[in-house]
Amino acid sequence: MRDAEPKMAWEATRRGIAEAMADIDGALPGSVVVRHMRCGKSSCACKADPPTLHGPYIQWTRTVDGKTVTKLLTEDQLTRYQPWFDNARRLKELTAMLQIASVHAVERHEGWTTPAKDD
């Protein structure tokens, strides 16, 4: 039974994931939604038919101490911080991958699985 190669492959996977994580220099929580809205004025263009809605409003919503916090971003700000929103998603994916690879490593080290096949 030769399992040295698959073991090394999984170690390489974990190292690769860790290296990808090391490249992330910022990650913002929450989500961004772009909205167009109506205001309270009855004679406004946003009440016309067809309506001209106000906006776009770029809303960044996140949870702080169990409360929802919303900030409006300008288009410039969104452009500037978009990479950090993308990074947060990437980090979540990488964490999930690292967990799968780590569970696999534990199962191998502890002999909890029977390999389906050698490839």
Q: What are phi and psi of 57, to 5 degrees?
A: -105, 125
- CB burial of 101-116 (b: ≥16 within 10 Å; e: otherwise) equals beebeeeeeeeeeeee
Contacts (CB under 5 A) with Zn ion, residues 20-79: 39, 44, 46
Q: How far is the CB of 42 from Zn ion (least distance, A)?
A: 9
Q: How far is the CB of 92 from Zn ion (least distance, A)?
A: 37
- Binding residue count for Zn ion, defined by CB under 5 A: 3
Q: How far is the CB of 11 from Zn ion (least distance, A)?
A: 59
Indicate the residue among 35 and 92 with the shorter CB distance to Zn ion.
35
Indicate the residue among 52 and 63 with the shorter CB distance to Zn ion.
52
Q: Omega into 115 within 30° of 0, i.e. cis?
A: no
Are 73 and 80 a contacting pair, CB within 8 Å?
Answer: no
Residues that bind Zn ion (CB under 5 A): 39, 44, 46
